[in-house]
């Protein structure tokens, strides 16, 4: 199971960094192996790694913080949804990014 997590407040972001979060601090979305593989094949993570200097892969934890990076990632997600509409799991990623932008927090990938 791969988890894409959004802290629901700035305080929750701090607690996430110190591993002291409660369940109420986070909005988690899980991707099963099939969903993860479909998102991976869409090219989203490769594009994000290249464009945003990230290292999202199957065995790494990563995070996207700040309005500029989140907006850039959101644009990449939208482009992948348009190019690969059959990959429903991209909608899960899109929802997490939208929430992070609204709350001014971040998106954390626990792979």
**Contact (Cβ atoms closer than 8 angstroms) between residue 64 and residue 70:** yes
* Residue among 92, 98, 109, 100 nearest 3 (CA): 109
The predicted structure's pLDDT at residue 104 = 96
Regarding beta strands 61-65 and 106-110, do their DSSP bridges make them parallel or antiparallel, or are they unpaired? antiparallel
Give the pLDDT score at 16. 93
Share of the chain above pLDDT 70, in %: 100
Q: What is the pLDDT of residues 16-67, one digit of tens each?
A: 989 999 989 999 999 999 999 999 999 999 999 999 999 999 888 999 999 9
68-94 burial code (b ≥16 CB/10 A, e <16):
ebbeebbebbeebbeebeebebbebbb
Question: pLDDT-derived band of residue 77, with 50, 70 and 90 as boundaries?
Answer: very high
If you average pLDDT over every residue of the chain, what do you get? 96
> Residue 60's pLDDT is what?
85
| Number of domain units in the chain | 1
Per-position DSSP letters for 58-90, written without gaps between them: TT-EEEEESHHHHHHHHHHHHHHHHH-TT-THH
DSSP secondary structure code for residue 22 in this structure: -
Domain that holds residue 8: 2-110
Looking up residue 62, the CATH number of its domain turns out to be 3.40.1760
Can you give the pLDDT at residue 23? 87
């Amino acid at each position: 199971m791969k988890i894409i997590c959004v802290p629901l407040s700035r305080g929750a972001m701090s607690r996430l960094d110190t591993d002291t979060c409660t369940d109420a601090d986070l909005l988690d979305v899980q991707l099963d192996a099939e969903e993860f593989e479909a998102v991976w094949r869409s090219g989203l993570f490769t594009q994000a790694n290249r464009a945003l200097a990230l290292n999202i892969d199957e065995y790494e934890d990563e995070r996207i913080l700040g309005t500029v990076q989140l907006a850039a990632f959101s644009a990449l997600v939208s482009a992948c949804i348009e190019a690969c509409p059959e990959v429903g799991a991209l909608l899960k990623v899109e929802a997490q990014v939208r929430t992070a932008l609204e709350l001014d927090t971040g998106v954390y990938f626990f792979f």
